[in-house]
């Protein structure tokens, strides 16, 4: 989504407040969001960020994943989730990262929310650990109105197992550079609940048929997010 | 002047009264515990609202005999008795048995008649482990009504070597117990992991496991691994 499209949607959602009039643009609160990949060898698929009402939830722990979330968890493809976010009245803004976030690297985004909507604005973000069957990491519903100008909030990000694909670690089923296997598959052959990921095992860990090496293992947190109010 | 004094006095009383109100703790609150692991079972949970003097353990210090009984065999009776003897309000085994991966159990605690019970503790053994347990240790219950979420970690009681061999749930006896449905994925004839008794409570390093159900180094299947956090607790203060 381009920045221009974002503004249009924000105006549509906020038409009753201040959009439309050329000289009555709403006061905007702007935040910088920086996500750092803390793993050794798990690139993160292009990030998806959403600013939404606190009533909206990206997912619930121990509940089944939506198909859009399953697509991210199994293949890193966030197009279905972005389409859902754009059509959701509870979502004020959605952003897609432009590339993979390599281990040790930081992806930075800027988001703007009308001041008048801040008390209803919470940030969620999600991405896949690509050298896995269906691991994702996320933050869910960080309240933006608590962050003062110049201040920031840090959160650690836990790896979740989408529960939509067996963690067999086979080359044919892992899409990342460690394997180049299949991404999304509509079949659900695991618990069908989003839970905390048990970690990858690899050959050295005792899974002889695994394509993963010891470097693909991870522990929590797998990423860190810093949200800073800059305007 | 007199009027002003009176007004001030009233204001002070109002402030004091509201201060007292906001310091008083929740008399009734709901506790929802979700097992967020992909493959670990929790034995019967002990949920307790207790006072400032009680604490289940101190990380880095040796486990009590009561905690050892929970961590090695899932027996909460000793700690439940000790806590209720100290005036705690307990809920024992709210899930009515094992809490499976992904499952949630809920309980309401009422501390009306024990207003000093302002701390919440939760504990259960993790299966299959030798002496692993999930815990919330002496968490201060907020006085403000609201919904509070806490993530719980897995601890190692440090009372038994993590040999990962099928064995006993009795304190001091080697091996881990495997009631159904844990038995279904438990191997046999594992040679055992070369491990020793650590001697103190600490964050659990996880299980090693193996894919060999009739031998290998471990009787624990690879499907029972986990990373922290292992449980989500939602406390609703009314």
Q: Which of B34, B211, B232 sits opposite A206 (nearest CB)?
A: B211
At residue A2 the predicted structure's pLDDT band, cuts being 50, 70 and 90, is: very low
Query: Which run of H or of E encompasses B5?
Result: helix B2-23
Which residues of B make CB contacts under 8 Å with A? 34-39, 101-104, 151, 206, 208-211, 216, 222-223, 225-230, 232
Rounded Cα distance, A134 and A165, in Å = 6
The tokens describing B43, both together, are 């034995």
Number of A/B CB contacts below 8 angstroms equals: 64
Q: Give the CA radius of gyration of chain B.
A: 22
Inter-chain contact A205–B211, Cβ cutoff 8 Å? no
- 3-state class (DSSP) for residue B79: helix
Averaged confidence pLDDT in chain A:
91
At residue B36 the predicted structure's pLDDT band, cuts being 50, 70 and 90, is: very high
Decide if A37 contacts A105 (C-beta within 8 A). Answer: yes
Residue in chain A lying closest to B220 (CA)? A206
pLDDT (average), residues B151-168: 97
Burial A129-167 (b: 16+ CB within 10 A, else e): bbbbbbbbbbbbebebbebeeeebbebebbbbbbbbbeb
- 3-state class (DSSP) for residue A29: strand
Q: Residue A27 pLDDT > 50, yes or no?
A: yes
pLDDT by residue (tens digit) across A141-156? 999 999 999 999 999 9
Give the pLDDT of residue A125.
Answer: 98
Rounded Cα distance, B32 and A219, in Å = 26
The tokens describing B110, both together, are 């009422």
Q: Residue B96 pLDDT > 90, yes or no?
A: yes
At residue A24 the predicted structure's pLDDT band, cuts being 50, 70 and 90, is: low
Domain range summary for chain B, segments of one domain joined by +? 26-161+196-205+227-237
Instruction: Output phi, psi for A81, to 5 deg.
Output: -65, -40
Q: Which CATH number fits domain B26-161+196-205+227-237: 2.60.40.2130, 2.60.290.11, 3.40.1160.10, 3.30.830.10?
A: 2.60.40.2130
Domains of chain A: 3-8+26-229 (2.60.40.2130)
Rounded Cα distance, B5 and B112, in Å = 37
Q: Which of A61, A163, A201 sits opposite B232 (nearest CB)?
A: A61
Give the pLDDT of residue A1.
Answer: 33
Inter-chain contact A206–B222, Cβ cutoff 8 Å? yes
Inter-chain contact B225–A195, Cβ cutoff 8 Å? no
CB-CB neighbors (< 8 A) of B228 in chain A: 196, 220
Inter-chain contact B226–A193, Cβ cutoff 8 Å? no
Scan for tokens 């070597």, then name that residue.
B161
Q: Which of A61, A191, A220 sits opposite B34 (nearest CB)?
A: A61
Inter-chain contact B230–A196, Cβ cutoff 8 Å? yes
Q: CA separation (Å) from A225 to A43, A46, A50, A221?
A: 16, 15, 14, 10
pLDDT by residue (tens digit) across A165-216? 999 999 999 999 999 999 999 999 999 999 999 999 999 999 999 999 999 9
Instruction: Output phi, psi for B82, to 5 deg.
Output: -65, -40
CB-CB neighbors (< 8 A) of A197 in chain B: 38, 227
Inter-chain contact B225–A201, Cβ cutoff 8 Å? yes
Strand residue runs (E) in chain B: 28-35, 41-42, 46-50, 89-92, 104-110, 119-127, 132-140, 146-156, 202-203, 231-237
Q: Is the confidence metric ipTM above 0.85 for this complex?
A: no
pLDDT (average), residues B216-221: 96
Inter-chain contact A191–B38, Cβ cutoff 8 Å? yes
pTM of the model: 0.86
Residue in chain A lying closest to B210 (CA)? A206
Averaged confidence pLDDT in chain B:
90
Inter-chain contact B38–A219, Cβ cutoff 8 Å? no
Inter-chain contact A62–B102, Cβ cutoff 8 Å? yes
Residue in chain B lying closest to A195 (CA)? B36
Decide if B99 contacts B40 (C-beta within 8 A). Answer: no
Contacts of A187 (CB under 8 A, 6+ apart): A165
At residue B130 the predicted structure's pLDDT band, cuts being 50, 70 and 90, is: very high
Instruction: Output phi, psi for A36, to 5 deg.
Output: -110, 130
Give the pLDDT of residue A80.
Answer: 98
Give the pLDDT of residue B112.
Answer: 87
């Amino acid at each position: 989504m381009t920045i221009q499209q974002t503004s249009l949607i924000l105006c549509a959602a906020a038409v009753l407040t201040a959009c439309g009039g050329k000289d009555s643009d709403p006061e905007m609160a702007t935040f910088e969001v920086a996500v750092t990949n803390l793993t050794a060898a798990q690139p993160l698929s292009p990030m998806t960020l959403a600013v939404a009402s606190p009533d909206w939830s990206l997912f619930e722990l121990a509940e089944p994943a939506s198909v859009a979330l399953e697509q991210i968890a199994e293949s890193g493809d966030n197009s279905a989730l972005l389409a859902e976010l754009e059509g959701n009245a509870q979502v004020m803004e959605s952003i897609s990262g432009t590339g993979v976030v390599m281990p040790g690297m930081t992806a930075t985004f800027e988001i703007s929310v009308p001041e008048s909507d801040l008390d209803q604005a919470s940030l969620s973000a999600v991405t896949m650990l690509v050298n896995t069957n269906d691991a994702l990491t996320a933050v869910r519903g960080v309240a933006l109105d608590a962050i003062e100008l110049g201040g920031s909030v840090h959160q650690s990000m836990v790896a979740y197992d989408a529960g939509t694909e067996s963690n067999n670690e086979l080359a044919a089923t892992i899409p990342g550079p460690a394997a180049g296997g299949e991404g999304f598959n509509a079949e659900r052959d695991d618990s069908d609940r989003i839970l905390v990921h048990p970690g990858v095992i690899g050959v050295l860990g005792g899974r002889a048929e695994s394509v993963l090496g010891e470097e693909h293992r991870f522990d929590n947190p797998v990423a860190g997010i810093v949200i800073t109010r800059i305007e | 002047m007199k009027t002003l004094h009176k007004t001030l006095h009233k204001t002070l009383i109002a402030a004091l009264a509201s201060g007292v109100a906001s310091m008083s703790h929740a008399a009734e609150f709901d506790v929802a515990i979700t097992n967020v692991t992909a493959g670990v079972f929790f034995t019967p949970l002990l949920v307790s609202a207790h006072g400032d003097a009680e604490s289940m353990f101190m990380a880095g210090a040796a486990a009590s005999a009561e905690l050892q009984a929970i961590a090695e065999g899932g027996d909460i009776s000793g700690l439940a008795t000790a806590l209720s003897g100290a005036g705690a309000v307990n809920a024992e085994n709210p899930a009515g048995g094992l809490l499976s991966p992904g499952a949630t159990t809920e309980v309401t605690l009422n501390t009306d008649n024990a207003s000093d019970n302002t701390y919440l503790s939760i504990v259960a053994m993790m299966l299959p482990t030798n002496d692993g347990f999930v815990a919330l240790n002496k968490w201060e219950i907020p006085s403000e009504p609201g919904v509070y979420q806490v993530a719980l970690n897995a601890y190692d009681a440090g009372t038994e070597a993590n040999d990962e061999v099928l064995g006993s749930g009795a304190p001091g006896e080697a091996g881990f117990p495997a009631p159904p449905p844990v038995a279904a994925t438990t191997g046999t004839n594992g040679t055992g992991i070369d491990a020793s008794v650590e001697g103190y409570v600490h964050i659990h390093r996880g299980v090693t496991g193996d894919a060999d159900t009739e031998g290998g180094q471990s009787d624990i299947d690879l499907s029972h691994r986990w990373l922290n956090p292992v449980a989500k607790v939602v406390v609703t203060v009314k």
